[in-house]
Amino acid sequence: MLPVPLILWMVALAHTVAGRACLRPPEILLAAVDVIKEEYHTGEEITYTCNPGYVPQSGQRRYTCPWSGKWPIVTLRCVRKICPYPGPLRNGIIHHTSFYYQDVVTFSCEPGYILQGPKTSQCLANGQWSGKLPECQPVICPPPPVSEFGALSYRNLNPGNITVFQDVVKFECLPPLALIGNEIATCLANGTWSELPECISVQCPYPEEIENGFINFALHRTYNYNDKVTYGCNPTYVLDGAVDSTCEKTGYWSKKPTCRAPCKIPVKRATVLYNEQRVKVQDHLQQGIQHAEMIWFFCKNKEQHCSYTVPAQCLDGNFQVPACFEDRGWFISIFKTDVADLTPC
């Protein structure tokens, strides 16, 4: 038999060759080991896994029990998962500080819109947001009030059977009532309408006559809003302005036209250009010309002995002969060539 000390030495040597066992692995923040035991054999492997809602940021996940029986330093670090941006929320606002696991975002809508759905959402362990993204629906305005007898009516300018925030309607009055105020109203953010118009009975006084003119078919009666009268001018006078005058919602007539006077040509004898034709004043323009019409007088360039034309226009009975024109009497015109017959300059 072997001595007892020798046996003990051999057992100790065999234990050393087999390696030391590793004890319970160290705990790290936000992670757990896949297999928990009090003792691990040399070469046995463990794996760390981040807790739900967390993901590895750095370090190693797998570790092996070494011959020394001491676990290596665990370098694994776990951080919170990040959820994707939960929006966009059309016509709304997403209030947030960050999008990490367990963070909460809050939803609200811009003025004129109402939140339909959850007011908050939380970032879950699976990296998704709780609940469904809400919607911001526009505020609905009730039908605008109209007058008792239907004098004020409206029509939608936007498609749809209901009117919502920022929709507009257009108002109309039954004739002969006048619409006072804005003909367009808008659905406001608080669900009410902007200022609504009214239908008012408006009458205008009897229309005034115009100098050197007349009113066509003027009747001795009352004139209501939008009624019209038509003006005309006496012979040789020209109407300047709109032919019609309208009874406006102010109770006054729109601007009346004016009858402009013709002009006499203050020369005895002259050849001029009128309507692109050479004519003699003494033969063809004895009655003058009408307002706004023009004639061109022939003037002489004495140095070059040639002629040039200068225009003159009739302006409401006022006519100014060009200063360069020389009016010749009948006797002189017999012996001197008419300026109009000279070679053009």
pLDDT in tens, 63-78: 999 999 999 999 999 9
Tokens of 284: 């063809």
- The whole-number pLDDT of residue 13 equals 41
Q: Which CATH code for domain 203-260?
A: 2.10.70.10
Its CATH class, for the domain covering 4-79, is: mainly beta
Which is nearest to 310 in space by CA: 301, 298, 319?
Answer: 298
- The whole-number pLDDT of residue 148 equals 58
Q: How sure is the predictor about 17, in pLDDT bands with cuts at 50, 70 and 90? A: very low
- The whole-number pLDDT of residue 14 equals 43
CB contact at 8 A, 248 and 225: yes
Mean pLDDT confidence for 187-200: 93
Would 4-79 and 203-260 be classified into the same CATH topology?
Answer: yes
Cα separation, 28 vs 24, in Å, equals 12
- The whole-number pLDDT of residue 152 equals 77
- The whole-number pLDDT of residue 7 equals 45
Cα separation, 301 vs 48, in Å, equals 114
- The whole-number pLDDT of residue 23 equals 95
- Which DSSP helix (H) or strand (E) runs through 175? none
Mean pLDDT confidence for 103-107: 98
> Is residue 47 predicted with pLDDT exceeding 90?
yes
How far CA 53 is from CA of 27, 34, 100, in Å, comes to 18, 17, 9
Q: How sure is the predictor about 187, in pLDDT bands with cuts at 50, 70 and 90? A: very high
The pair phi, psi for residue 332, each rounded to 5°, is -65, -35
> Is residue 336 predicted with pLDDT exceeding 80?
no
The sheet with strand 62-64 has its strands ordered as 31-33, 45-50, 62-64
- The whole-number pLDDT of residue 334 equals 57
- Residue 11, SS3 per DSSP: helix
Q: Which comes out higher in pLDDT, residue 345 or 30?
A: 30
- The whole-number pLDDT of residue 338 equals 83
- Which DSSP helix (H) or strand (E) runs through 320? none
- The whole-number pLDDT of residue 12 equals 43
301 contacts: CB under 8 Å, gap ≥ 6: 307, 308, 345
CA atoms within a 13 Å half-sphere pointing along the CA-CB vector of 128: 5
Mean pLDDT confidence for 12-24: 64
CB contact at 8 A, 27 and 71: no
- The whole-number pLDDT of residue 332 equals 56
Arithmetic mean of pLDDT over the chain: 89
Cα separation, 340 vs 145, in Å, equals 76
Among 190-204, 212-226, 266-280, name the one with the lowest average pLDDT: 212-226
- The whole-number pLDDT of residue 75 equals 96
Reply yes or no on domain 92-138 having CATH 2.10.70.10: yes
Cα separation, 133 vs 92, in Å, equals 11
The owner of tokens 């309208």 is 246
- The whole-number pLDDT of residue 29 equals 94
Give residue-wise pLDDT tens across range 124-180: 999 999 999 999 999 999 988 876 556 778 888 778 788 999 999 999 888 888 998
- Alpha-helical (H) ranges within 226-340 are 281-284, 330-335
As a whole-number percent, the residues of the chain with pLDDT over 90 amount to 72
| Domain extents in the chain | 4-79, 92-138, 142-199, 203-260, 271-341
The CATH fold assigned to 142-199 is Complement Module; domain 1 (2.10.70)
Its CATH class, for the domain covering 271-341, is: mainly beta
Cα separation, 28 vs 46, in Å, equals 13
The owner of tokens 């005895």 is 268
Among 16-20, 119-123, 249-253, 264-268, name the one with the lowest average pLDDT: 16-20
Give residue-wise pLDDT tens across range 214-237: 998 767 678 999 999 999 999 999
As a whole-number percent, the residues of the chain with pLDDT over 70 amount to 90
Cα separation, 263 vs 273, in Å, equals 16
> Is residue 15 predicted with pLDDT exceeding 70?
no
Among 4-8, 160-164, 208-212, name the one with the lowest average pLDDT: 4-8
